[in-house]
A and B are shown apart, each in its own frame.
Chain A
Amino acid sequence: MALYNFKKIMVVPTAKDFIDLTLSKTQRKTPTVVHKHYQIHRIRHFYMRKVKFTQQNYHDRLSQILTDFPKLDDIHPFYADLMNVLYDKDHYKLALGQINIAKNLIDNVAKDYVRLMKYGDSLYRCKQLKRAALGRMCTILKRQKQSLEYLEQVRQHLSRLPTIDPNTRTLLLCGYPNVGKSSFINKVTRADVEVQPYAFTTKSLFVGHMDYKYLRWQVVDTPGILDHPLEERNTIEMQAITALAHLRAAVLYVMDLSEQCGHTLSQQLELFNSIRPLFANKPLIVMANKCDVRKISELSEENQKIIADLIAEGITVIETSSLTEEGVMQVKTEACDHLLAHRVNTKMKGKKVHDVLNRLHLAIPAKRDQKERPPFIPDGAMVRRKAMETDAPKRKLERDLEIELGDDYMLDLQKYWDLMNPDEKQDRIPEIWEGHNIADYIDPEIMKRLEDLEREEELREKAGEYDSEEESEDEEMQEIRQLASQIREKRKLKILESREKNTKGPRLPRTAKKVERGTLEKDMSDLGLDMTDKDDSHYAQRSRSLVRKRKREVSAPPTSRTRSQSASRPPRDQSGVRDAKMLKKVKVLMKGSQKEMNRQGKKGESDRHVFDLKPKHLFAGKRKSGSTSRR
């Protein structure tokens, strides 16, 4: 259906805008840099591309316009006629034709200039050709200014037309201006059409939707029609006529009984008769509107006769009043029923029906037995229905209770609980015990399972699983354990001692260290040996006497002279010293001479080492990475 695409037509730009758009697009989307020294084919290609690009753009845009706008031959004749009425078919077709021509011209221009460009031999020539081509295309478009403007206006108006589906159920309202058509549609549907006392308030068609019998119905409100021949009708009236002519709808001809519209009943009848031909094959209802002002029975004799004539011809005449809504529903139901019947009839007469009819089968179930099967209504619903009807006092609500108790009111939802023992409703239910959720333990068979478990436990206990092992071990094991721990401790101590040794210094033989007698005896007695009277053991004698006691053996080689001499010479710090006083002085002198050396940390007299306390590489210069905040 082309109906709904009226809103989707692309915007038609004005000529100036169109040109600007396309040219700027060409400027942006094609390469912009070209130099004289490029190879000629490259220059040609560059400019040809621009020409083709512009042509492509124009072509696309114009084609889109041409396809978007509906072709009057392709759409429903109602819309075709409507558009003719509103926009003039000829003008419309002409405008589109012009656009088409423009498109073709642009294509030709581009083709020609591209062909010419092949023979361009310099940048300047190619550039001029391109200029010429683009210029011509733009001029062609400039000439279409009027068409484009017209099409834009058509598009805007088209998109605002009401979406009337010509094939669905429709009710059409027609009559003189100011008779009450718009009021009627306002009453029956959700449409909000302007209602004013002056004529031609409604200037175009309006659609409203309503529901009846679970179906959607369109109600179309038309501008009023005056009684003059077709040729003299203006655009507004022609819309109404078009609607009447093309829509297969139920027609509601509205008459004003009170003649407030400014036309007498006979004039209205005249109009009715003149449009009569348009009502062929359409269910017709005459609405005698504004009956709150004047009823049919209050009419004059002639007017009553007019009405009677109408009824005699078989046309339904219903008294209505849009103001008091009298008869509005009746009109609605009558019109809808008539139209549905009419539609069904036409369908039955058509050809398509038989395809459907062959496949349809109405199944009427026959009674199986004489058993009565009335509908089931639960008791609660029956009670409630009765309560509604008799307006009995309702049950007491919480709110009532709240008001009654005032300040003392406590919301207690536990009273609504549906428990097995209703007297437990006010219990406070325990949820947690010692880190476990009670809800995880609840089981109807819990007691049984507990019994099984306890039985099992008893069996286990009997089997001796829980007997504590011999915690008191025999004394032997305790002793063993104690000894073992002592051994371990001793080992650790030895390890620590050995760690304190200085392994980096000179490795002296064991005999260099003097072993104290006391420590030796202590260690040995710790190990369990008896060290009580060892005074005459070999280690308890003084070392000197040890040397003296040792007999020199005959086979031993003679010791050197220096050795024997050094044995008899006094030590250097005692030679030449006469007495204790001198010894003291000597010592003081010695210390004095050593002071300076010691202060400087020198190893001895001959130590000439110069320490480099402030090496330059650490105290000056920049660092490669990192800061020099520490020196």
Chain B
Amino acid sequence: MRIEKCYFCSAPVYPGHGMAFVRNDCKVFQFCRSKCHKNFKKKRNPRKTRWTKAFRKASGKELTVDNSLEFEKRRNIPLKYNRELWSKTVEAMKKVEAIKQKRQSRFIVNRLKKGKELEKAADISEIKKNIHLIKAPHAGQAKQLEDKMVQKLAEDVEMDE
């Protein structure tokens, strides 16, 4: 029993789900649902269909080359069952998975950092241009002027005295 990968969107295909298509050149295509199957029949390129994993990896939106990704690889030579190797593998799998997740999220965060900076700059320029919509430029000036006059008067009075 194996969990296959959907050819189109790279989602896991559990047993009992999806469809498989075998072409005349003996290449097998697994699909997770009819959406992917229909897209495939329409001859759409998964590397150009924005919602697929293939697109995301091809356009650099997700982590592609990393050591933690090298652990999961389809192996053609089966090994004989060996309890200790299997149990070690399961533990290793869990750790590798944790590391992989960390690295993938870090990659995405790094990618989005630039956006945050641009946001900040946009906010600042917005304020500079359109502050008049929420705050009148001469908002506190009357009071200031008054205060100044009062101060001046007080000074004058002082001076007179």
Contacts and interface: CB of A to CB of B under 8 A. Distances in A.
Interface in B120-156: 120, 122-124, 126-127, 130-131, 133-136, 138-140, 142-143
Given A424-B83, A427-B81, A434-B97, A439 B2 contact: yes
A588 B131 CA distance: 55
B136 A528 contact: yes
Nearest to B70: A449
Nearest to B119: A481
Contacts of A229: none
Interface stretch (A244-252, A363-371, A451-459, A505-513): A451-459
Given A419-B80, A529-B139, A438 B93 contact: yes
A527 B139 contact: yes
Contact of B72 (A440, A483, A488): A440
A524 interface: yes
A619 interface: no
Contact of B133 (A453, A465, A487): A487
Contacts of A447: 88, 92
B1 interface: yes
A477 interface: yes
A525 B12 CA distance: 60
A487 B134 contact: yes
Sort chain B's interface into a size bin: 35 or more
Closest 3 CB pairs of A and B: A528-B139, A484-B123, A527-B136
A450 B82 CA distance: 19
What does DSSP make chain B's interface, helix, strand, loop or mixed? helix
Nearest to B98: A457
B73 A440 contact: yes
Nearest to B109: A469
A197 B73 CA distance: 81
A446 B71 contact: yes
B85 interface: yes
A443 B86 CA distance: 9
Given A419-B81, A484-B127, A437 B2 contact: yes
Contacts of A528: 134-136, 139-140
Contacts of A494: 133
Contacts of B38: none
B102 to A, nearest CB: 7
B85 A432 contact: no
B24 interface: no
Given A446-B89, A480-B123, A454 B95 contact: yes
A430 B106 CA distance: 31
A491 interface: yes
